[in-house]
Amino acid sequence: MVTVSPREGERYYLMLLLTNIAGPTFFEDLLTINGQKLASFREVALALRLLYSDAYIEDTLQEAIAFQMPSSLRLLFATLLVYCSPTDPRSLWKKVELELSAD
């Protein structure tokens, strides 16, 4: 099997599912968990606990938003991106974009 970097997004999640789900014959088989069709391979990987949740990263940012200046928040955000490797950096950015750009 070809190696896929986690930075490749859905392609990485697809590879992760193909190596952990036995016998899928269609992409819909991979997207369906307990009779419920999910929107992306990432959502399926999270539902199957093949990935860690980014909740602790979001909690860290929300706590820091309460008492840090935007410049400090941006530094924290960059540090979290580099050292914690969130599964969906774009979604994380959208959640805190206003606070990080308040100045």
How does pLDDT run across 55-89, given as a tens digit for each residue?
888 888 998 998 889 999 999 999 989 887 787 89
pLDDT at 99: 93
d(CA 11, CA 63): 33
Say if CB 14 and CB 30 are below 8 A apart.
Answer: yes
pLDDT at 71: 93
Say if CB 65 and CB 94 are below 8 A apart.
Answer: no
pLDDT at 52: 76
pTM: 0.56
